[in-house]
Amino acid sequence: MQAPLTFAVDNRLPEILERVLQLLPKQRPVADTNPLDQLLYGVVAQGLSSAGATACFRRVKERFPSFVSLRDAEPETLRSLMVGVPSAALKAAAIPDILRLIEEAFGSLSLEPLSRLDQELALRFLTRLPRVTEEIAVSVLRFTGTDRLVLHIDRDVARPLRRLGLAEPGAPLSALPRQLIERSPVAWRSEDFAALSRGLTRVADRFCHQGRPDCSSCPLASLCPAAEKTEGKVVTFPFGKRKASLA
């Protein structure tokens, strides 16, 4: 019988996390205390900068301070609060619908029942709501009152993970969350993985390009085996699902 694969903790990870944290904005979203606020903020924030999303969401909450009033809001009134916001009409129509669907499902305007659902079921429920992407759903599950590990890895995050040697070269995208967890410090909590994912997204966007990476400017270059080569390795992926999450 073949023994299961095991991976030693990668001692570079705390330093990797520390460095990518420097790439993240210091300002936290206004909606970081309530899962339902976080959900609505995520819908509003699509296509906006952090500052723009915060300002827009604040206008909406000032005009409709309760979830009940927001549920009953006219989409046109909501749209008028989203001047210059991408897909404003679609977002304005989606927000009341989201709240009505949640109330129908749980009997109240609360996402607290998600904490009692299986991870897969919770993600499935959220991503069936209008305008709610898997990325938004994953962020919401971090605010449901539990410390469940919700690790979001898409194709862009996978690129620096592979080049750093934090994932097996031939592993499919769906296997990367488990491989990263097995290499991570046992003391890491969900917020550490969330910060790492956001930071690696910035690394992928700015330095770790799909073709030739900009290793000379990358803050992770001294920790990355691929940066030691004169030409960065071009990483390609099989077609399939773009995102993977793991409870």
The domain ranges of the chain are: 35-141, 150-246
Low-confidence stretches of the chain (pLDDT beneath 50): 1-6, 27-32, 230-234, 239-247
Q: CB neighbours of 147 closer than 8 A, spacing ≥ 6?
A: 189, 190
Q: Give residue 214's pLDDT.
A: 94
pTM above 0.85, yes or no: no
Do 231 and 49 touch, CB atoms closer than 8 A?
no
Please, which residues have CB within 8 angstroms of residue 35's CB and are 6 or more apart in sequence?
111, 112, 114, 140, 141, 143, 144, 145
Tell me 243's DSSP state: E
d(C-alpha 139, C-alpha 131), whole Å: 14
- Which pLDDT belongs to residue 211? 84
Q: Do residues 146 and 175 touch, judged by C-beta distance below 8 A? A: no
pLDDT score at 3: 39
What pLDDT score does 16 carry? 96
* Overall CATH class of domain 150-246: mainly alpha
Q: What is the mean pLDDT of the chain?
A: 83
The third-level CATH classification (topology) of the domain covering 35-141 is Endonuclease III; domain 1 (1.10.340)
What is the predicted pLDDT for the residue at 6?
A: 45
pLDDT at 139: 79
Q: Which of 158, 140, 230, 152 is nearest to 193 (CA)?
A: 152
